[in-house]
Amino acid sequence: MKKLSAIPMIALLALASCSDDNEVTMPADYTEVPEAAIKSSDYSGLYVLDEGNMGSNKCTLDYMRFSDGVFARNIYPERNPSQALELGDSGNDILISGNRMYLCISGSNKLEVLDARTAERIGQVDIPNCRYVETAGGNIYVTSYTGGYTIDTTQQFGAVYRIDPNTLTVTGKLPVTYWPEEMAAVDGKLYVATSGTAVEGDYPDNNVLQIDLASFTIEREIPVGTNLHHIEADTFGHLWVSGRGDYGARPSRLYCLSKTAGEYSLDKTIEAACSDFTVCGSTIYFYAAEWNYATSSNTITYSKADAATAALLPGSYIASSEQSKIDTPYAILANPQNSEIYLTDARNYVSSGSLHCIGTDGMIRWSVTTGDIPGHLALLKK
Amino acid sequence: MLRRKPTYILTVLTAAACSFAAAAEERPDTTDLREVVVVAHRPSDDVIPAQTLQGKELEQMNSSSVADALRYFSGVQVKDYGGVGGIKTVNVRSMGTNHTGVSYDGIELGNAQNGQIDLGQFSLDNMESISLHNGQKSSLLQPARDFGSAATIYMRSRSPRFAPGKAYNARLTFRTGSFDLVNPSALAEFRLGRHLNASLSAEWIKSSGRYKFRYKRLAPDGTVAYDTTAVRKNGDINATRLELGLNGDFASGEWHFKAYNYNSERGVPGAIVNNVWRRGERISDNNSFAQGRVIVGIGRFTSLNSIKYAFYRTHYVNNDDKQIKIDNRYRQNELYISTSNEYTVFPWWRVSLSYDLQWNRLKADIYGFAQPDRLSSYLAAATAMNLGTLKLQASLLGTFIHDRVQGKKSPADRKAFTPAIYLSWQPAGKKLPLSLRAFFKRSFRMPTFNDLYYTDVGNASLDPEKVTQYNVGIVFDKTSGGFVSAIRLSADGYINRVKNKIVAYPKGQQFRWTMLNLGKVHITGLDLSAAVTVTPAYWLSSPFDITLRGQYTYQKAIDVTSPSDSYYRDQIPYMPLHSGSAVVNAGWNGWGINYSFIYAGERYSQQENIIYNRMRPWHTSDISLSRDQPIGKAILRIQLEVNNIFNDYYDVILNYPMPGRNWRIVFSAEI
């Protein structure tokens, strides 16, 4: 009987000896997607920044190489093995400017600076709770949720940081309103969409801020809509802005701003919900995912608008048979050269996502498995 | 009838037990288990698998909290966020934390807000025993709620016992060690009359929570990619615990009263991620309750009546300038009354009926919070038959829930009926101490207030999450004099089905969530345990003993929600396929030595079983050496503990590093 009792213990010790104390850096995972190869492209490839669930430190970077259609998942540890705790927590934006790639890693409070071609690290700039990055006039601009406190210390306002890309130092910090989001640079001005969430559930601001880059001051506040998020300029002199609404009475919308007497103001509201959009020549492609309490499911729509006339176009850019293959659309980007659309699926936020390439016929041409929450896309020019 | 006296008394570690054993014969047999110093499990009276740690063994296990001690039970996984103040919760047989009931001195603890009891708030200083019952306790005379959980942990605080002619007991303890720990405690027990005694227990714990942790990775070629050592910060705690107990008996019964307060201010160390080594979240808790129980026996009829009022206050602040500022206060109230009545129809047949009524309220200063309150009724009927070698128990619980919310229509009332059947059979009767057992149980957990009503996230139309358990097991349990003085072996195999599992689901836009009844989990498990006490020189008057205990748990817990999920049939997060523990302790003439080993196999931090979510196995080895020295009337005790002696750096929860090697020294004096 005594021997019997020793068996589980021996088994346990045997199991214990299997525990590998030496962990290896996360390897990249390579997949060949022949359909994704583009022979004569203006672009070398497409980066996907995966946010990773908050606190999981699983922000990862994936890359689709167009020359041969090889998709590499999680390349950062492979390219930067000595970087302790890898890329970081909650990636929120990606920007390629020249030979560099800038990544806002909001949970790690930093702007990560990489070589755009090799994804090797150049350095970082510490910016708390950074959200989006933009370049203009030789500087880098980053929005942040936490720029300081109101006088009564009850509320935190946001800030726009100015960074010198040569020294990777902050050269200016402009306090702005609550929760600033994406920026667009047009003619020496920086336009910032502000979500304005101050008190939970309350959206007191509904502005796009106009910042003069020479003086780095706020010049104007342009009233647009509730809970603004994305902003991008088209080639027709418009600024397109998406608003998330208040998830209640005030709906999500896509707004078009145009210039009168040299100043932008709200011109048209596209009467369709918009979570994110991409400008491709004369067309704006966008999607929306809105929670429906009655059916306990997301209502997902894929719509398009004419950039020149700011009018909603009929139909969708994804065939309805293909739409059911996407659970939670989370990022969109058009390839200006061939008008293909890259659309990501974040699924349930806590498992691997997908990147889909949608052809001009509305069919999914190819799909690959990405990291968790593929949220941000950037094309790398040749 | 309330609790049978153990049928055997181990002759082990008698030296250590001398201070208590003398009083044993004076006590009613209701709560007295103290003379059994080392028992791996409760006596075979249990139809249902139960595991118990108590007395000396508990003391020697290097455990600083109830959660630490529970790691030695099979089928249990403790979620430990690390450090002295880190939150610790328990998951039994992969069914989820919310399915585990936790009862303290006879009445279940509740947390209507999130359904999770932080076991770090209970001390081992005044704990007499901790038991884990899969399914429910083999007792008819218990509150209706106790028939409800999928598994229940029973914690029982020390009940006073006095040597003849003694009117008081007192013990002072001081613990110090790693993490700048300062932890004095005092226990005083008074005999206030033939039929009344009182106990007072007080404890203060202060710790910086600082410890070194290390993240090391190798490149594929074997060279060091990075090797980072840092100090865990913002894990400090400053907490007090006060408990008052009054116990009395009268001709036909007994009564117990308890008042409890736990007050803490602590840091939430948070996840370690790239570029973030310190966070600013703080939690203050002020939890109080008062409870009373009366047990009356008249002829064949026994009645247990309980009442409890609890008031919990939590203040959560995020002071980190880099994060969005948060400052929320939560207040919970609970009022609970219960009556449980048992009738012995024949000596071999008993029946019982229990009814509980409970009211919970949660208030929070969160924008748009629904300020819910809930009225719950529980009605349970149970029966037990003792047919010689065959024992049978069956129960049926009806649960009726009515919620109210402010400013909205109340959600529909919920009700559920959950049966349970238990069998145990001794095929060879008294000739062979071998029994076979089986149970079937249905249970459910109500969605918590957070699941239902949390601003934006909550979903008021949630259904309860349901669990069905099937268990078969075998136990061999023998006690005798001689070289092998006690041996107990048990094996239980089980299949659990969790459906309507409440999971967070993305609302599509920008990282917003809601709760849905979406998950389905299939669990197949095996719990093995063995305990052996050997007494090499059993003929001596003060023999020395060695007790060996081992347990192994196999749990295949797979997500079967939908074949279209990328994680379909993958092991659910944080559940190792293999885990186990081993404990060896030896005692002789006032000396005690204990070695404890815990192993948890490979786990995944998220649903998909892919390399990016894999967490490596870990194991810890702890050692303690103790000495009890009588000086005059007092017994001085000193215990030195070294934990994680091989300095393994590991995470139980991803990015929450656990301490490496650490030590603790305990001084106590008892008169």
In terms of CA atoms, which chain B residue is nearest residue A373? Answer: B511
Inter-chain residue contact B655 with A124, CB threshold 8 Å: no
Whether residue B9 is predicted with pLDDT greater than 80 in this model: the reply is no
H/E stretch holding A56:
none
* Minimum Cα–Cα distance from B366: chain A residue: A200
Whether the per-residue pLDDT at B12 is higher than 70: the answer is no
Which residue of A24, A289, A352 is in closest CB contact with B566? Answer: A352
Chain B CB contacts of A27 under 8 Å are 220, 611
Least confident of B129-133, B232-236, B543-547, B563-567: B543-547
B24 in reach of chain A (CB within 8 A):
no
Neighbours of B251 (CB within 10 A): 7
Section B47-74 average pLDDT: 83
Check CB contact of A378 with chain B, cutoff 8 Å.
no
Which B residues in the span 174-233 are in contact with A, Cβ-Cβ below 8 Å? 215-220, 225-226, 228
Q: What is the pLDDT of residue B410?
A: 82
* DSSP helix/strand/coil, B664: strand
The C-alpha of A20 sits at a distance from chain B's nearest C-alpha, in angstroms, of 7
Residue B20 pLDDT > 60: no
Kindly determine whether residue B532 and residue A5, on different chains, have CB atoms separated by under 8 Å. yes
Judged by CB atoms closer than 8 Å, whether chains meet at B508 and A300 is answered as yes
For the segment B526-541, the average pLDDT, to the nearest whole number, is 85
In chain A, what residues touch B529 (CB-CB under 8 Å)? 8
Determine the Cα–Cα distance for residues B291 and B246; give it in Å rounded to an integer. Answer: 11
Answer yes or no: is pLDDT of B403 > 90: yes
pLDDT at B84: 80
A128 at B interface, C-beta within 8 A:
yes
DSSP H helices, B395-520, are: 449-453
The pairs formed by A349-354 with CB atoms below 8 angstroms and a separation of 24 or more are A349/A53, A349/A373, A349/B506, A349/B511, A349/B513, A350/A53, A350/B606, A350/B607, A351/B565, A351/B566, A351/B567, A351/B606, A351/B607, A351/B608, A352/B566, A352/B608, A352/B610, A353/A50, A354/A326
* Cα maximum dimension of chain A: 95
Angstrom distance (rounded) from CA A12 to CA B581: 7
At residue A13, the 3 state secondary structure works out as: helix
Using an 8 Å CB-CB cutoff, list chain B residues near A346: 506
Backbone angles phi, psi at A15, to 5 degrees: -65, -40
- CA–CA min distance A59, chain B (Å): 10
- In the chain, the amino acid numbered A28 is A
Structure tokens at A147: 């720029």
Confidence of residue A201 (pLDDT cuts 50, 70, 90): low
Question: By C-alpha distance, which of A270, A308, A305, A303 is closest to A288?
Answer: A303
Tokens of B367: 């924008």
Size of interface A-B (CB pairs under 8 A): 229
Check CB contact of B299 with chain A, cutoff 8 Å.
no
Contact: A199, B530; criterion CB under 8 Å: no
* Contact check, Cβ <8 Å, A89/B273: yes
> Nearest Cβ partner of B324 from A19, A25, A145?
A145
Nearest CB to A12; choose among B218, B487, B582: B582
Distance of residue B259 Cα from the nearest chain A Cα, in angstroms = 37
| Chain A touched by B610 (CB under 8 Å) | yes
Instruction: Report the C-alpha gap between A284 and A281 in whole angstroms.
Output: 8
Instruction: Give the rounded percent of residues in chain B with a pLDDT score beyond 70.
Output: 92
User: 3-state class of A355 per DSSP?
Assistant: strand
Query: Is pLDDT above 50 for B15?
Result: no
pLDDT category at A23 given cuts 50, 70, 90 is: confident
Q: What is the pLDDT of residue B356?
A: 98
Binding-face residues of B in 542-571 toward A, CB within 8 A: 548, 550-552, 565-567
Confidence of residue B508 (pLDDT cuts 50, 70, 90): low
Q: Which of A26-40, B11-25, B402-416 has the highest mean pLDDT?
A: A26-40
Q: Which residue out of A10, A50, A56 would a mutagenesis test of the B interface target, given it has the greatest number of B Cβ atoms within 10 Å?
A: A56
Interface test with B, best of A291, A298, A299, A372 (most B CBs within 10 A): A291
Of B336, B250, B254, residue with least CA distance to B291: B336
DSSP A97-158: ETTEEEEEEGGGTEEEEEETTT--EEEEEE-TTEEEEEEETTEEEEEEEEEEE-TTSS-EEE
Instruction: Yes or no: say if B545 and B534 are a contact pair by the CB < 8 Å rule.
Output: yes
Residue B213, CA atoms < 13 Å, CB-side half-sphere: 24
Residue of chain A nearest B607, judged by CA positions: A351
Question: According to the model, what pLDDT value does residue B119 have?
Answer: 85
pLDDT at res. B123: 86
pLDDT, residue B46, reads 66
CB contact under 8 A, A290 and B530: no
Pairwise CB contact (< 8 Å): B567 & A351: yes
CB contact under 8 A, A24 and B218: yes
B512 CB near a chain A CB, below 8 Å?
yes
Q: How far apart are CA B12 and CA A342, in angstroms?
A: 72
Q: How confident is the model at residue B134 (pLDDT cuts 50, 70, 90)?
A: very high
Residues on chain B touching A372 (C-beta within 8 angstroms): 606
Interface residue A174 vs chain B (CB under 8 A): no
User: Phi/psi at B156 (nearest 5 deg)?
Assistant: -125, 125
In terms of Cβ atoms closer than 10 Å to its own Cβ (0-12, 13-18, 19+), residue B244 is: middle
**Residue A190 pLDDT > 70:** yes
Write out the two tokens for A105.
Answer: 């890693």
Nearest CA in chain A to B483: A2
**Among partner residues A15, A18, A82, which is closest to B226 by beta-carbon distance?**
A82
Q: What is B585-645 written as a DSSP string?
A: EEEETTEEEEEEEEEE--EESSSS-SGGGEE--EEEEEEEEEEEEEETTEEEEEEEEEEST
pLDDT in tens, B569-607: 999 999 999 999 999 989 888 899 999 999 999 999 999
User: Residue B26's pLDDT band (boundaries 50, 70, 90)?
Assistant: very low
Is the pLDDT assigned to residue B159 strictly greater than 70? Answer: yes
Question: Does residue B416 have a pLDDT over 80?
Answer: yes
B459-463 contacts at long range (C-beta below 8 A, 24 or more positions apart): B459/A296, B459/B514, B459/B515, B459/B516, B460/B370, B460/B405, B460/B408, B460/B411, B461/A296, B461/B411, B462/B502, B462/B515, B462/B516, B462/B517, B463/B414, B463/B500, B463/B517
Mean pLDDT (chain A, rounded)? 91
- Residues in A closer than 8 angstroms to B216, CB to CB, are 22-23
Q: What is the pLDDT of residues A41-91, one digit of tens each?
A: 899 999 999 999 988 999 999 999 999 999 999 999 999 999 999 999 999
Q: Which of B217, B273, B582 sits opposite A108 (nearest CB)?
A: B273
pLDDT the model gives residue B54: 85
Sign of CA dihedral B131, B132, B134, B140: positive
Identify which of B273, B324, B565 has the shortest CB distance to residue A55.
Answer: B273
Asked if the Cβ–Cβ distance from B548 to A5 is below 8 Å, we say yes
Q: With a CB-CB cutoff of 8 Å, which residues 238-297 of chain A face chain B? A: 244, 247, 252, 275, 288-291, 296
Q: What is the mean pLDDT of residues B545-564?
A: 94
Distance from CA of B386 to the nearest CA of A (A): 29
Q: Is the Cβ of B114 closer than 8 Å to some Cβ of chain A?
A: no
b/e sequence B475-491, b meaning 16+ C-beta within 10 Å: bbbebeeeebbbbbbbb
Residue A65, min C-alpha distance to chain B (Å): 22
A369: chain B residues, CB-CB within 8 Å:
566
User: Within 13 Å of residue A267, how many CA atoms lie on the same side as its CB?
Assistant: 17
Q: pLDDT by residue (tens digit) across A91-123?
A: 999 999 999 999 999 999 999 999 999 999 999
